[in-house]
A and B are shown apart, each in its own frame.
Chain A
Amino acid sequence: MTTGTGNIVAPLPFPTAARRELADGQLRANLRRATHTIRDKRLRVVGEVPDWPALRRSGAAIKDDVLARLPELLEQFEAAATAAGATVHWARDATEACTLVTELVQRTGSTEVVKVKSMATQEIGLNEALAEVGIEAVETDLAELIVQLADDTPSHILVPAIHYNRRQIRDIFASRMPGVDLDKLTDDPPALAEAARRHLRAKFLSAKVAISGANFAVAETGTLVVVESEGNGRMCLTLPETLISVVGVEKLLPTFRDLEVFLQLLPRSSTGERMNPYTSLWTGVTPGDGPQTLHIVLVDNGRTETLADPVGRQALRCIRCSACLNVCPVYERVGGHAYGSVYPGPIGAILSPQMTGPDAGANRTLPYASTLCGACFDACPVRIDIPEVLVHLRQRGVDARRGRPSAERTAMRALAWTMRDRRRYAAALRAARRGAAPLRLVTGARGQVRRLPWPLSAWTASRDAPLPAGRTFRDWWAGRDRTGGEGTGGDRG
């Protein structure tokens, strides 16, 4: 089995990267504002759909059906798309996909391509691969353009520039956008959108090659679907002569009818709109309308590896809406960069380590980037039980290292021995209370220790340790006043 490669490998352990990001107060303010805006919008438009739970169940089942029949559906898609005039290619991993696309672009003779925002091309590191052979890839989605101009990396699936506020975006445009009209450039969002429109217009009208991803690929008809807002997608999908679409193998839907479910689930979950401004559907090539050469690159890159895990494979249902990021208390505080992968947030924490396998970079730390609060599962339009998969992956990680000594395991073993016997347990509590008594004088009413000596310092590095209570529940129970009073205060009056 080949594991996934590309921009899905966390270079730093999550706690290390998170600490770095948490130090940035501006980042936290930006993220809080943006995620709360989108949460409210999503709740409003989801709330007005009475059959939302039924749509979620259907969405999940359709994707499960795709995974169960994936080989047949891929062959069906290939046949339908080929019959409609497309050329279908296959890539095992990121490197193979990049090589394929690079060769396809080189064959056209173009040294510049326009790009529709696409997670698949981010994942495989296509822009970097094209740059190596002197081909410039121009990102045309506003947020991708901001990130590209800032020489930064995306931090959100839907809005890669979510970590910037309007003032910061204005500054990036002012210093990095060639030919920008500084007099007209304010930090007013319409002014910023206008600047992007002017900057990209000439590129759209002259580009010979476009590269896109696809939100959905319909096996029955060979149709590809791109869901977008700005019209940059339509420009790229319509004006150039050649279109190259890079599509993960799990993007399939069995029938055209299935779109009726996903075109309801995706926009409301993603931008919190009843419908996104533009959705394009195209099948092969159409004489006189749009690109006359269409290449479709089907990419595995660790999806098969993910499919092999009966619990974890539900991550492949993901339609990249990013609702789970927007509701996640961890994402809201640390932002996307802390996850070190183009797939951040709760879905990234289960997708990246499964696609690459746990040994790639620090990806084994990602399943711990969660409080397991479950908000992500509630928000997920295809009902991916992200907490279940997180716990499963933690378990897999622990099982894989069971033979090796670890402080945590030694402590747990000691604890298990103590708690197995009632007298041992009571004695341990008494000892702990006695030991903590002098500390109580120091910590006062707070009753929390901020820093314990080594080796317990590993525990207090990121949390306070509470002192044992002055009296145990058993002691209180034995000595309570049976006539009422203490402990029943709530019933009085």
Chain B
Amino acid sequence: MGTVDRSARDEILARIRAVRPDEPVSVPREYRTGPVAGGTVGEPGEAEAAALDGELIELLVDRLVDYRATVRRCAPQDVPGALAELLGEVPTVVVPPGAPVRWLSAYLGRIRRDGDPEPLTVADLDAPGVAVVTGCAVAIAQTGTLLLDGAPDQGRRLLSLVPDHHLCVVRAGQVVGGVPEALARLADPTRPTTLVSGPSATSDIELDRVEGVHGPRRLDVLVVTD
């Protein structure tokens, strides 16, 4: 197959070279790439930035609620209590290898850490009554989006996919305004990355949104602010 492959490649590239447009294209980028508050665009000063952070969090919460995610806010010292409350009667919680131990210090059920000692199997994750708690890399206020990039507190992609209940911890400093800032914050764009905006949903029946198909049907977001 190697030779066939090569000839197809060379032929396609030669064809494109023969017909492509010869004018170079300059790309305008007049869209918003920086902080935004109340629809205005600009670089905020220090005082504005603090106010803006508060607004961003309000916006993020509003968007997440719009997607029918459950949202709680708490101070850093209250994370264990808030998570335990959100988990309620859930018998088993899965966490990625690098999730802080104190997150689940108030939770009384069974805790399984991926890779400790063995990686969890799909069957482990698919068992009834399993929830997963992860962090995130960055969150987008305007679209209510959580970005997971496989860092140690987020783990492998299947951890936040197979269990039916996903809890995500978002720190205030991780919240940005729009998509451009969020992508620019990713440490390494070649890591497997997932953007999550609300629980799994479909618009396939009469183009109306219905929550809950293959991904987690319940998404809880804990926003940690000072």
B148-189, CB < 8 A from A: 150, 156-158, 161, 178-180, 183-184, 189
B47 at the interface (CB under 8 A from A): no
Contact present for B30 and A194 (CB under 8 Å): no
Contact present for B27 and A62 (CB under 8 Å): yes
A249's closest neighbor in chain B, by CB? B12
Contact of B156 among A161, A263, A289 (CB under 8 A): A289
A56's closest neighbor in chain B, by CB? B31
Binary CB contact string for chain B from 1 to 15 against chain A (1 if under 8 A, 0 otherwise): 100010011011101
Contact of B179 among A38, A62, A196, A260 (CB under 8 A): A260
Contact present for B212 and A193 (CB under 8 Å): yes
B25 at the interface (CB under 8 A from A): yes
Contact present for B215 and A205 (CB under 8 Å): no
B175-226, CB < 8 A from A: 178-180, 183-184, 189-216
Interface size class of A (residues with CB under 8 A): 35 or more
Q: Contacts A96-B8, A205-B122, A264-B179: A230 and B214 contacting too (C-beta < 8 A)?
A: yes
B27-71, CB < 8 A from A: 27-33, 39, 41, 63, 67
Contact present for A274 and B197 (CB under 8 Å): yes
Contact present for A204 and B192 (CB under 8 Å): no
Binary CB contact string for chain A from 23 to 66 against chain B (1 if under 8 A, 0 otherwise): 00000001001110110000000000011001101100110110
Question: Which one, A302-310, A380-388, A433-441, is touching chain B?
Answer: A302-310
Contact of A307 among B16, B180, B197, B214 (CB under 8 A): B16
Q: Contacts A103-B1, A230-B215, A310-B21: A146 and B204 contacting too (C-beta < 8 A)?
A: yes
Could you tell me the distance in whole angstroms from the C-beta of A36 to the nearest C-beta in chain B?
9
Interface size class of B (residues with CB under 8 A): 35 or more
Contact present for A231 and B25 (CB under 8 Å): no
Contact present for A275 and B143 (CB under 8 Å): yes
Determine the distance from Cα of A30 to Cα of B204 in the docked complex, in whole angstroms. 13
Determine the distance from Cα of A180 to Cα of B150 in the docked complex, in whole angstroms. 36
Contact present for B190 and A71 (CB under 8 Å): no
Contact present for A65 and B200 (CB under 8 Å): no
Q: Contacts A143-B204, A263-B179, A283-B190: A57 and B20 contacting too (C-beta < 8 A)?
A: no
Of A84, A162, A189, most buried by chain B (CB within 10 Å of CB) is A189
Contact present for A142 and B32 (CB under 8 Å): no
Question: B39 — which chain A residues lie within 8 A by C-beta?
Answer: 50
Contact present for B15 and A230 (CB under 8 Å): no
Determine the distance from Cα of A380 to Cα of B214 in the docked complex, in whole angstroms. 30
Could you tell me the distance in whole angstroms from the C-beta of B33 to the nearest C-beta in chain A?
7
A257's closest neighbor in chain B, by CB? B183
B119 at the interface (CB under 8 A from A): yes
Could you tell me the distance in whole angstroms from the C-beta of A42 to the nearest C-beta in chain B?
10
Determine the distance from Cα of A89 to Cα of B4 in the docked complex, in whole angstroms. 10
A45's closest neighbor in chain B, by CB? B143
Q: Contacts A54-B30, A238-B161, A304-B19: A232 and B190 contacting too (C-beta < 8 A)?
A: no
Binary CB contact string for chain A from 187 to 223 against chain B (1 if under 8 A, 0 otherwise): 0011011101100110011000000000000100111
Contact present for B214 and A279 (CB under 8 Å): no
Determine the distance from Cα of A284 to Cα of B9 in the docked complex, in whole angstroms. 19
Question: B138 — which chain A residues lie within 8 A by C-beta?
Answer: none
Contact present for A275 and B195 (CB under 8 Å): yes
Could you tell me the distance in whole angstroms from the C-beta of A329 to the nearest C-beta in chain B?
17
Contact present for A57 and B30 (CB under 8 Å): yes
Contact present for A141 and B204 (CB under 8 Å): yes
Determine the distance from Cα of A143 to Cα of B202 in the docked complex, in whole angstroms. 9
Question: A30 — which chain B residues lie within 8 A by C-beta?
Answer: 206
Contact present for A286 and B150 (CB under 8 Å): yes
Question: B208 — which chain A residues lie within 8 A by C-beta?
Answer: 37, 189
Of B22, B208, B211, most buried by chain A (CB within 10 Å of CB) is B208
Contact present for A221 and B190 (CB under 8 Å): yes
Question: B203 — which chain A residues lie within 8 A by C-beta?
Answer: 38, 159, 229, 271
Binary CB contact string for chain A from 72 to 107 against chain B (1 if under 8 A, 0 otherwise): 001100000000100001111000100010010000
Question: A330 — which chain B residues lie within 8 A by C-beta?
Answer: none
Contact present for A229 and B200 (CB under 8 Å): yes
Contact present for A51 and B31 (CB under 8 Å): yes
Question: A67 — which chain B residues lie within 8 A by C-beta?
Answer: 20-21
A130-188, CB < 8 A from B: 140-143, 146, 159, 161-162, 165-166, 169
B134 at the interface (CB under 8 A from A): no
Question: B119 — which chain A residues lie within 8 A by C-beta?
Answer: 288
Could you tell me the distance in whole angstroms from the C-beta of B145 to the nearest C-beta in chain A?
5
A21 at the interface (CB under 8 A from B): no
Could you tell me the distance in whole angstroms from the C-beta of A26 to the nearest C-beta in chain B?
13
B118 at the interface (CB under 8 A from A): no
A417 at the interface (CB under 8 A from B): no
B85-134, CB < 8 A from A: 119, 122-123, 126
Contact of B213 among A89, A100, A232 (CB under 8 A): A232
Contact present for A190 and B212 (CB under 8 Å): yes
Question: B205 — which chain A residues lie within 8 A by C-beta?
Answer: 142, 161, 166, 169, 189, 192-193
A487 at the interface (CB under 8 A from B): no
Contact present for A51 and B190 (CB under 8 Å): no
Question: A232 — which chain B residues lie within 8 A by C-beta?
Answer: 213-214
Of B19, B32, B123, most buried by chain A (CB within 10 Å of CB) is B19
Could you tell me the distance in whole angstroms from the C-beta of B124 to the nearest C-beta in chain A?
12
Contact present for A277 and B25 (CB under 8 Å): no
A162's closest neighbor in chain B, by CB? B207
Question: A200 — which chain B residues lie within 8 A by C-beta?
Answer: 214
Could you tell me the distance in whole angstroms from the C-beta of B191 to the nearest C-beta in chain A?
7
Could you tell me the distance in whole angstroms from the C-beta of B22 to the nearest C-beta in chain A?
8
Question: A241 — which chain B residues lie within 8 A by C-beta?
Answer: none
A419 at the interface (CB under 8 A from B): no
Q: List 22 A-B contacts (CB under 8 A).
A: A51-B41, A55-B31, A61-B27, A67-B20, A71-B13, A71-B16, A71-B20, A90-B5, A92-B8, A142-B204, A166-B205, A189-B205, A189-B206, A193-B210, A218-B189, A234-B214, A249-B16, A256-B189, A264-B31, A277-B196, A278-B197, A307-B20
B contacts, CB < 8 Å to A: 1, 5, 8-9, 11-13, 15-17, 19-33, 39, 41, 63, 67, 119, 122-123, 126, 140, 142-145, 150, 156-158, 161, 178-180, 183-184, 189-216
List 5 tightest A-B contacts by C-beta distance, closest first: A231-B215, A231-B214, A230-B213, A275-B143, A308-B19
* Extra contacts besides A90-B8, A286-B192 (7): CB < 8 Å: A1-B15, A37-B206, A55-B31, A161-B205, A230-B201, A263-B195, A288-B156
